Structure 1
Amino acid sequence: MEKVIFINSKGQSIQLGNDGPYVLTKIEGTGAVNANIQSQKSPYQDGVTYLGNTLEARSIPIEIMILGENGSDIAIKRNKLLQIFNPKLDQGRLIYEFGNIKREIKAISELAPVFPHAGTFNDTMQEGLIQLYCPDPFFKDVVETKEETAVWRGAFEFPLELVEEGIEMGYREPSLIVNIFNQGDVPCGMKIQFKALATAVNPLLFNVNTREYFKINKTMTAGEIITVTTHFQNKRVELNKNGVISNAFQYIRDYNITFLQLDVGDNLLRYDADEGIDNLEVTIHYTPQYLGV
């Protein structure tokens, strides 16, 4: 079973599937994506030297059939499509379901929906063509994955029975190293969140496999949260102090740091601090990227 949900930049959404009034009849471009091969050639060289490759943007054409009760109803449904797939809007989200797989991709309309002449089905059926353009060619999981290292686990529950030696309200579950498995097809960025329960000096996240690291040169105090985003073209370092979020790039003073990426497969990550490591909670959020569905 195939189903498509598109949510535009204004939050308006529409579903295209097996049921009316918008029936999905055909969708292309969810698999193949063109690669741009980078190479160089020296004088008198046979062939070329391969340097690498990049993926091109993705186009997704969608064919639908609009079902209506009469001509006026068809006109209303056509107008809804024009509003949602407005090319003047910013990028929206295309959620594509195929079998048990559900993934999304950012997309924008290349042109307003096209409505060919409906022939003898003028009053009850109308064909439509939607052409989407995806600057980022990768599909992603709809739900972000969250991994925790050392956190506090609650142990207080009801029914409650008091005993003479007392009860445990909670306990710290330490884990200096966490293995994050990136099940996607390509490396991906992540969001790293350092939370200070008390004073913690210069928190750090270290990739055991690649020996790369990201370090923050700051003495964090209780309640402070520093969030590091390492996605391509979206690299940020932000400080949340008493609910006020500010730019924290000034705390990046080590020129050897790397905005860590998650390689395909296993990634061993270790957190540390110069002082107060037991006062840190570290969580990692990431979304695997796929070549198609």
Structure 2
Amino acid sequence: MRRLTYENARGERIVFYLSPILIESLTGIGEVDADLQGQKSPYQDGETHLDVILQPRFIDLEGSILKTDLREMKAYRKHILKVCNPKLGLGKITLELDGDTKEIFGVLDGTPSFPERGRDVWQKFLITWKCPDPYWRDPQEVSRALRSYRGKFILPTTFPFELGISGDSTILYNGGDVDAPVTIDIQGPVTRPRVINKTTGQFVILNRSLSADEVLHINTNDQNKRVEIYRGAETIEKAIGYLDHDSDFWKLEPGDNEIQYIADAGNADAIVAIAWHNHYLGM
């Protein structure tokens, strides 16, 4: 089965499948161009490899409107043009292929094209999306929660005693092909929270206390990096200036990642939620 659903920024959806809007050709779902980054020294044979940078993904869909009645054909043309409007910006592409489902975000690279029908009974069309982030991802978001502080001081008590254990750790598994950006939501009350990826050695530290009604939100996606503090459903403050200067917008490596959450002070209600989508090179 090969079915593609496009949902624009207004929530309007269109499904390309068999009838009445048939997919005839779909390219760009696997291949994506890459730039090889290298460095050359004087008198060096060849060059030294540095990195590989993937380019935006372009997805081309060719199809046909399987209607012979001119009024119905025109109605479907208008529907395609309305939903696939490049002025609306990024929309979500969901592809179901051979029992697998992945999604990606793309913007229309121009309006849909409808060639002259000539002797064709059906109306053909061509649609191209440009996906700035070239990676497909799982539709389901994975989420885990950790506590920054677990108190153990209970009265009456005997000596010696533990005042508390400052931190919690867990293993997060990234089942994708590449590093996965994360969203980190830290619920107060907590003082100077730190979330550490011990597998990579990277961390993020907030040099600020959060009250019980405040939530720190961090997004490490390269296309949408954010550090904000929320109270209720509203953003009350941009908080990137509170991050420790050595902090990293870290991601999950493919495979197991040991994550630790600690703080200088807090209570049992101070938790962090880490969420991510596994990312893939192709379908």
Interval containing the TM-score (normalised by the shorter chain): 0.7 to 0.9
Question: Partner residue of 1:188?
Answer: 180
Q: CA deviation at 1:99?
A: 2.0
Q: Which moved more, 1:207-216 or 1:245-254?
A: 245-254
Paired residue for 2:251, among 261, 264, 271? 261
What is the DSSP-based 3-state SS (H/G/I as helix, E as strand, rest coil) of the residue aligned with 2:110? coil
- Correspondence 1:286 to 2:265: no
Amino acid at match of 1:84: V
| Distance in 2 (alpha carbons) for counterparts of 1:36 and 1:149 | 39
2:114 and 2:123 in contact (8 A); partners too? yes
2:220 and 2:251 in contact (8 A); partners too? yes
TM-score (norm 2): 0.87
Paired residue for 1:214, among 195, 199, 204? 204
Question: Partner residue of 1:273?
Answer: 263
Pairing of 1:55-134 with structure 2 (within 5 A)? 55-122=54-121, 125-134=122-131
The two structures, once aligned, show a CA RMSD in angstroms of 2.1
| Distance in 2 (alpha carbons) for counterparts of 1:287 and 1:21 | 32
What is the DSSP-based 3-state SS (H/G/I as helix, E as strand, rest coil) of the residue aligned with 1:189? strand
| Distance in 2 (alpha carbons) for counterparts of 1:257 and 1:90 | 32
After TM superposition, which residue ranges in structure 1, 4 or more long, deviate above 4 angstroms? none
In structure 2, runs of 5+ residues without a counterpart are 149-165
What is the DSSP-based 3-state SS (H/G/I as helix, E as strand, rest coil) of the residue aligned with 1:14? strand
Change (3 A) 1:45 1:249: same
Q: Which moved more, 1:59-68 or 1:224-233?
A: 224-233
Question: Partner residue of 2:28?
Answer: 29
Paired residue for 2:168, among 172, 176, 182? 176
Amino acid at match of 2:187: K
| Distance in 1 (alpha carbons) for counterparts of 2:240 and 2:97 | 45
Paired residue for 1:145, among 142, 146, 171? 142
Q: CA deviation at 1:221?
A: 2.3
1:217 and 1:251 in contact (8 A); partners too? no
Paired residue for 1:237, among 227, 239, 242? 227
- Correspondence 1:200 to 2:199: no
Q: CA deviation at 1:149?
A: 2.1
Q: CA deviation at 1:243?
A: 4.1
